[in-house]
Amino acid sequence: MGAGTRSLMVFCLTAALFAGNAICEEKNFLDMSMEEILNTKVSIASKKAETVSESPAIVSVITAQDIARLGYETLSDVIKTVPGVTVTESYFGYTDYSFRGIKETNYNNRTLLLVNGTPIREATNNQYWLELFPIKAIERIEVIRGPGSVLYGSNAFAGVINVIMKSKVDTAEVSVLAGSKNLVDGSVNFGKDKETISYFAGASYHKSNGYNVSALDELNKTQQLGAYAKDTNAYQNNYSNFFGNISKGAFSVNAYGFDQDKDKFGITPVHAYTGNANTQAGGMDAQYKKDLIGCEFTTKLNYFQSAYDGYLALFPVSGALSGVPMDMKYSGSNYGLGIDGYYKISDRASANFGVTYDNSQTDPYKFVSDDTKASPLAYTGSFINGEANIYSAFLDKHDTNDTSLYGQLDVMATDALRVVGGLRYNNNKDYGGAAVPRISMVYKAADKLFVKLLYGSAYRNPSFFEKYVNTKNVVYGNPDLKPEKINTVELGADWTFKNTTLKCSLYNLATDDMINRVNGMYGAGSVPLVAVLEPRGGATLPTKSSPGYANTTGEIINGIEAELRGEIYGKLLGYSLNASYKDGTEKDSYLLSGVAGSALGDKIQYLDKVTANVSLFNDIGKFTNTISASYVGERTGNIDGAPPAGGPYTAGQEITVPAFTLVNLKSTYKMNKNVDISVIVMNIFQQTVLFPEYIRRDIATIPGDSGSNIYGEVSYKF
């Protein structure tokens, strides 16, 4: 944990303990009525406050009350309750979020994370981490399933997650969660809302021994995940984070950061490459609002930086550096400046518009010797001997920038029909200019019944890693990559009756120029394009069939989503149900690498066709009880590449990842107005959790935490 992170967390804890009665009691989350929840205002769809039913997009909202009731310890578990969203663990130690069957590339860069409407993207891979935010400091989460590039630019491709943090609240709260696997999770929040100035700060600390599970790697070896030379604990995900906000009049500033240690296989799913990865990231944004010449203007400035250090117990398995531990190190930063405007044309029409500038830069992605071992052989070139060896992902700095203009017109064409049209023009340093449109029609068919017809387009620019990685026999980048594109048509309906809401949506999406890792793209002795851009002699040329990044064709996916939420007999029984079904095809037949006549047809690899979530809760006296369940249907795909001889898999073998249902229980007892005590049981029936390994496809699955976990939590509000 960095010194700045430690200092801010100590400050948060100290201030909370001394706040005492100087801070007024916050409204308890259980006091929110279902009507208040169903009429929650969101801003993600059009950058103005409106109910979910009125918004010109398919939007789901998760409130602080939802998070508290469910009892999930991580934001990843919360996000998977959104219809059409699937969470997957990758061999590289990342938690990936798939929206509507569009899988991530091992990094979360086909969806976009916002904090209070400001995009967050790590520079090297254009990814994000949901561990960035203290879960108890969140006011609500707004999620768009579908494209959002018109308003938010690159990476708002398959979906957008907008995390709204608490601000302008009078609160002080400390909570401690402990239980299975020696888990300790502590959090603190405090804030004050005054007429002259408002502030809020929250922090959390999460640590456990992780779960014990064995996995089979590409070399047909089975061992416990997380067990390697530096650490023999189980598969871990430990982190600390903080968020702070201060506002005075029209001016406000947010600051946030996190420090994470998480285990992984390595740069390939091989135990010899396993190790711990440390990620540190943080940023801040500031905005100022001003009325000028009849328009409301908001000026925004944001900055974000991150650093990664991943331990490799052994890389490569054979060759000159065999047996030498290494660290993978990269860092990068980005900053942006934007001006958003809003103009009310008439009582029936308004316009949003804006201009943004974003700059990203990455430092070299170096593989260096571990501090405790002798320095391995090094690529000397223009670098200091011992600093960066010949297998480094890339050795040069890279940067890019985007300048965008967007406009959106919002018109009530009739008393019942609202039409929203928008266009973004983006000019990228490397790819030039391109435009993406959207058009939405929202029709009020009856009182509290809204029907939506939506069309949207989005794009994703290649990441630095996809363009420039140059690691021998592992993967090669492609500096000629083009941006990905998606077009989506959606038909939705939102109906609210009494204290119940029903949402349904049908969609058709088509992707083009998808950037994928293509196995067998380069043969032994061939010269990848990136090897010409960053020459290292013959040191990194492939000596066997190796993958590279390329623009493949795309997919066509059709789906249906349904969501029902409400309550029966007041708070005696509340419920939230959702389900999604999707199916689709590749635009071209899928080919196995290096296997003649290997066309597998047009099925999408490991498509999660069926997902569902349910939660039931009731309030009886001082008790609140919630039972929840998540279902992920089976997924099928095929082994690709050339699995090791004598192993359990053959090229082209079909793999079925079994379905699983996770059932959880949380019971909260309100001892008094200040103290809540909770008992949480996760995965009650000890369902086996397996994730598809869809990136390299040389092994069948990556195991998840399949055991039950029992926690106790105490929360104290001052």
CATH of the domain at 275: 2.40.170.20
**Pairing, β 701-703 against β 660-670:** unpaired
- Judged against a pLDDT cut of 60, whether residue 499 lies above it is answered with yes
- Judged against a pLDDT cut of 70, whether residue 344 lies above it is answered with yes
User: Which of 2-6, 321-325, 491-495, 618-622 has the least mean pLDDT?
Assistant: 2-6
* Rounded CA separation 5/175 (Å): 19
Residue of 101, 102, 100 whose CA lies nearest to 110 = 102
Question: Quick one: tokens of 284?
Answer: 């801040």
* Rounded CA separation 648/632 (Å): 26
* Rounded CA separation 19/494 (Å): 43
Average pLDDT for residues 144-160, to the nearest whole number? 95
Q: How many CB atoms lie within 10 A of CB 523?
A: 12
Residue type present at position 566: G
Measured over the CA atoms of residue 47, residue 51, residue 52 and residue 57, the dihedral's sign is: negative
The pLDDT assigned to 646 comes to: 77
Measured over the CA atoms of residue 596, residue 601, residue 602 and residue 604, the dihedral's sign is: negative
Reported as a pLDDT band with limits 50, 70 and 90, residue 74 is confident
Cα–Cα–Cα angle for 663, 134, 94, rounded to 5 degrees: 65
Residue 546 φ/ψ region, left for φ over 0, alpha for ψ in the -120 to 50 degree band, beta for the rest: beta
Question: Quick one: tokens of 593?
Answer: 């690498």
Average pLDDT for residues 137-157, to the nearest whole number? 94
412-432 burial: b if 16+ Cβ within 10 Å, else e: beeeeebbbbbbbebebebbe
Helices and strands counted in the chain (H then E) = 7, 42
Question: Quick one: tokens of 570?
Answer: 């007041």
The pLDDT assigned to 590 comes to: 66
- Judged against a pLDDT cut of 50, whether residue 375 lies above it is answered with no
Question: Quick one: tokens of 336?
Answer: 């942006």
Cα–Cα–Cα angle for 607, 611, 616, rounded to 5 degrees: 165
Reported as a pLDDT band with limits 50, 70 and 90, residue 325 is confident
The pLDDT assigned to 273 comes to: 84
Specify which residues 561 forms β-bridges with: 505, 580
Q: Over the chain, what is the mean pLDDT?
A: 88
* Rounded CA separation 437/418 (Å): 17
Those residues with Cβ within 8 angstroms of residue 57's Cβ, 6 or more apart along the chain or in another chain: 44, 45, 46, 144, 146, 148, 440, 452, 454
Average pLDDT for residues 601-630, to the nearest whole number? 92
pTM summary value: 0.92
Higher pLDDT, 697 or 390: 697
Number of domains comprising the chain: 1
Higher pLDDT, 704 or 387: 704
Q: Which domain holds residue 182?
A: 3-717
The pLDDT assigned to 2 comes to: 46
Q: How many residues does the chain have?
A: 718
Rounded-to-5 percentages of helix, strand, coil across the chain: 10, 55, 40
Those residues with Cβ within 8 angstroms of residue 422's Cβ, 6 or more apart along the chain or in another chain: 150, 151, 352, 406, 407, 408, 409, 437, 438, 439
Cα–Cα–Cα angle for 441, 447, 448, rounded to 5 degrees: 65
The pLDDT assigned to 219 comes to: 86
Specify which residues 235 forms β-bridges with: 211
The pLDDT assigned to 1 comes to: 44
The pLDDT assigned to 19 comes to: 33
Reported as a pLDDT band with limits 50, 70 and 90, residue 33 is low
The pLDDT assigned to 309 comes to: 93
Average pLDDT for residues 65-83, to the nearest whole number? 90
The pLDDT assigned to 20 comes to: 34
What is the per-residue pLDDT across 445-470, written as a single tens digit (0 to 9) for each? 999 999 999 999 999 999 999 999 99
Residue of 245, 140, 136 whose CA lies nearest to 197 = 245
CA distances from 280 to 135, 274, 327, 469 (A): 18, 20, 15, 22
Q: How many CB atoms lie within 10 A of CB 446?
A: 9
- Judged against a pLDDT cut of 70, whether residue 89 lies above it is answered with yes
Residue of 1, 33, 30, 71 whose CA lies nearest to 664 = 71
Q: How many CB atoms lie within 10 A of CB 321?
A: 20
At 553, give phi and psi (nearest 5°). -80, -90
The pLDDT assigned to 22 comes to: 33
Q: How many CB atoms lie within 10 A of CB 596?
A: 5
What is the per-residue pLDDT across 531-542, written as a single tens digit (0 to 9) for each? 999 888 787 899
Average pLDDT for residues 345-364, to the nearest whole number? 96
pLDDT above 70: percentage of residues in the chain: 89
Residue with the two structure tokens 């009507």: 35
Identify whether 316 is preceded by a cis peptide bond (ω within 30 of 0).
yes
* Rounded CA separation 432/586 (Å): 28
* Rounded CA separation 9/476 (Å): 41
Indicate the helix (H) or strand (E) that contains 529.
helix 529-533
Cα–Cα–Cα angle for 57, 42, 407, rounded to 5 degrees: 60
Higher pLDDT, 702 or 498: 702
Average pLDDT for residues 618-643, to the nearest whole number? 90
Residue of 163, 165, 215 whose CA lies nearest to 189 = 165
The pLDDT assigned to 343 comes to: 96
621-640 burial: b if 16+ Cβ within 10 Å, else e: eeebbbbbbbbbbebebbbb
User: Which of 4-8, 111-115, 368-372, 385-389 has the least mean pLDDT?
Assistant: 4-8
